[in-house]
Amino acid sequence: MKQHATKAISLWISVLFLSLFVACEKKDSETAPIGINAKVNKFSVGAMKHFYVWNKEISSSIKDNSEDEPIEHFLKMRYKDDGWSRLENTSSPSTRAEIDETTTDFGWWIYPFSFIGESKMYIAIEYVNPNSPAANAGLKRGDIIYKVNGNFLTTEKKSLTDFLALKSMSIEVGEMYVESNTIDVRSTGKNPLNLQVTTKCFDSVLHAEIINEDEPDKPQIGYLCYSSFTKASRTKLKNTFAYFKQKGITEMILDLRFNLGGYADVANALAGMIAPKTVLDNKTIYLKRAWNAEMMKLQKEDEIFDSSVINENLNLERIYILTTEITASASEATILALRPYMEVVHIGERTLGKFCGGLTITPEDYFKEFKLGKDSDIEGVENWEATIMVYKFSNINGESAQGGIAPTYEKEKVDSAIDLFFKPLGSPEDPMTQIAVSLIETGKLPVRKSTRSILLPEIKDYKISSKNKSEMIICKESLYK
């Protein structure tokens, strides 16, 4: 879950903390090395030894005055179960803003695929962010990018890599179709759409509605698709839950299929709006966190549910949560936190399994704000920052997300072209939503329509770059704090 280091760690800093650490750091700083690599390594090694949850696993051979390449030096400290801590050199000095949630993008989530044995590649759109370049161009979930700048993409790696690097493009939209019992992709024949990336904080409340709102005799089901636990989304989340509460929903579907995580306090607030009201009234434990031994000495209380959202609390007894294999971090924390207090019906795929939370720390944070060095230690390394896993989390029953959270009802992974007919979010025609709605209305799983009469070509998906799922887990979700 994400927090600015100074603001977060300032809650922990005390006379005890300083007495534990400052003396040895001052001794080191008296002979601070001059080389840039050594400066970066002094920062990263010091920060890891102080804050890393697995700091006792760091080899004694790791030196803070090493002239080794900094990122390689950092990776030598990373524990075998940690796939998220990282060190990076940003392209320009960070503003170190408390909240910086902007990204430069078209505002979509894409799924590149091809049919086995064919050289053409297509891009299926799984969702578009509201008020994004993609949304403003008229793109929607289920659309297929058929051609880019007048040409087909190909299955060569460079073709997709080049596509993902584009800052502007003209796209021809396609669609999936069935003809002669065979599935294929064709152009819609509409004029090409021109898109230009923008830099902004994209709206992560992708879609909210009340299923069956026009059918009062059926259960009133609140549906929310949420893609990231951002600070900027908190107000819209509260407004959405206030609307659900006003309309008297009795059941809820929380769609976290695309959610890689985000801020811990936003996850807590979301859980607080879902949980039984008694959980908030009784100041019940939200999650337990295990820090390294030194930091555990400073933790006086476990984290409790956020009672500031009590006016939006739905007082539910049950929640249906949709997930995929990339649902992670704060999403997993939300699932685990609710389990001891209500029925969590988990539909979809086993989650990613990110069981720890981190913090992004800069040389300025470490040397200046925490008084662990001198101003000269910062000079020349202002652009560097370390994202460090600082705690492991579990619920009050000791359940962890390590290894992923298994669903109650497993949805088959995408394995054929029939699953690329993406239906609108919140639609009962969407397979995962359909499972939840059927369970709510009938207590039974839906019967999936037979596709035996249709030739289902195998598909290949591509997960090789920053705009796609696997890399997003690294580039974005490593900032789960």
| Residue 415 pLDDT exceeds 80 | no
- Per-residue pLDDT of 44-53, as tens digits, reads 999 999 999 9
Give the best-scoring range by mean pLDDT among 29-33, 189-193, 426-430.
189-193
Q: What is the mean pLDDT of residues 331-351?
A: 97
Tell me if residue 169 falls in helix, strand or coil: strand
Q: Are residues 384 and 403 in the same domain?
A: no
Q: Are residues 376 and 471 in the same domain?
A: no
Structural domain harbouring 259? 205-357+392-442
Residue pair 382/324 in contact by the 8 Å Cβ criterion: no
Tell me if residue 220 falls in helix, strand or coil: coil
Q: Is residue 281 in some structural domain?
A: yes
Q: Are residues 123 and 167 in the same domain?
A: yes
Q: 183 has which bridge partners?
A: 178
- Which band of pLDDT confidence, cut at 50, 70 and 90, is reported for residue 412? low
pLDDT value for 27: 42
Q: Are residues 174 and 87 in the same domain?
A: no
Helices (H) and strands (E) in the chain, counts: 14, 21
Domain's final residue, options 370, 390, 410: 390
- Which band of pLDDT confidence, cut at 50, 70 and 90, is reported for residue 98? very low
Q: Are residues 333 and 220 in the same domain?
A: yes
| Residue 339 pLDDT exceeds 80 | yes
pLDDT value for 478: 29
Residue 150 φ/ψ region, left for φ over 0, alpha for ψ in the -120 to 50 degree band, beta for the rest:
left
Q: Are residues 93 and 71 in the same domain?
A: yes
How many residues are recorded in the chain? 481
- Per-residue pLDDT of 233-254, as tens digits, reads 999 999 999 999 999 999 999 9
**Which amino acid, 243?**
Y
Q: Are residues 122 and 252 in the same domain?
A: no
- Per-residue pLDDT of 142-167, as tens digits, reads 999 999 999 999 999 899 999 999 99
Q: Is residue 448 in some structural domain?
A: no
Q: Give the whole-angstrom CA distance, residue 214 versus residue 221.
A: 11
User: Does 361 or 6 have the greater pLDDT score?
Assistant: 361
Q: Are residues 285 and 175 in the same domain?
A: no
Q: Are residues 92 and 162 in the same domain?
A: no
* The Cα angle at residue 111 between residues 110 and 117, in degrees rounded to 5: 145
Q: What is the mean pLDDT of residues 29-46?
A: 79
Q: Is residue 447 in some structural domain?
A: no
Instruction: Give pTM, 2 decimals.
Output: 0.86
pLDDT value for 116: 82
Report the b/e string of 322-344 with b at 16+ CB within 10 A. Answer: bbbbbbbbbbbbbbbbbbebbeb
Residue 473: which CATH number? 2.30.42.10
Q: Is residue 90 in some structural domain?
A: yes
Q: Is residue 450 in some structural domain?
A: no
Q: Is residue 41 in some structural domain?
A: yes
With CA atoms as reference, report the closest residue to 313 among 236, 244, 211, 220: 244
In this structure, what token pair is assigned to residue 426?
């919140």
Mean pLDDT over the full length of the chain: 85
- Per-residue pLDDT of 197-223, as tens digits, reads 999 889 999 999 999 999 999 999 999
- Which band of pLDDT confidence, cut at 50, 70 and 90, is reported for residue 34? low
pLDDT value for 302: 84
DSSP labels, 58-113: S-TT--TT--S-HHHHHHTTS-TT-SS-EEEE-SS-----S----EEE-SEEEEEE
pLDDT value for 182: 79
Q: Are residues 282 and 346 in the same domain?
A: yes
- Which band of pLDDT confidence, cut at 50, 70 and 90, is reported for residue 257? very high
Domain's final residue, options 375, 390, 405: 390
Nearby residues of 137 by Cβ (< 8 Å), 6 or more positions away: 193, 194, 195
Q: Give the whole-angstrom CA distance, residue 414 versus residue 420.
A: 8
- Per-residue pLDDT of 360-393, as tens digits, reads 999 999 998 888 888 899 999 999 999 999 999 9
**Environment class of 62 (CB within 10 Å of its CB; exposed 0-12, middle 13-18, buried 19+):** middle
Q: Are residues 259 and 177 in the same domain?
A: no
Residue pair 268/1 in contact by the 8 Å Cβ criterion: no
pLDDT value for 19: 34
| Residue 31 pLDDT exceeds 80 | no
Q: Is residue 396 in some structural domain?
A: yes
28 phi, psi to nearest 5 deg: -65, -40
Give the best-scoring range by mean pLDDT among 119-133, 366-380, 419-433, 455-469.
119-133
Q: Is residue 451 in some structural domain?
A: no
With CA atoms as reference, report the closest residue to 241 among 207, 273, 204, 268: 273
Element containing residue 209 per DSSP (H, E)? strand 205-211
Q: Are residues 471 and 405 in the same domain?
A: no
pLDDT value for 148: 98
Please give the share of the chain, as a percent, with pLDDT higher than 70: 82
| Residue 255 pLDDT exceeds 50 | yes
Number of folded domains that form the chain: 3
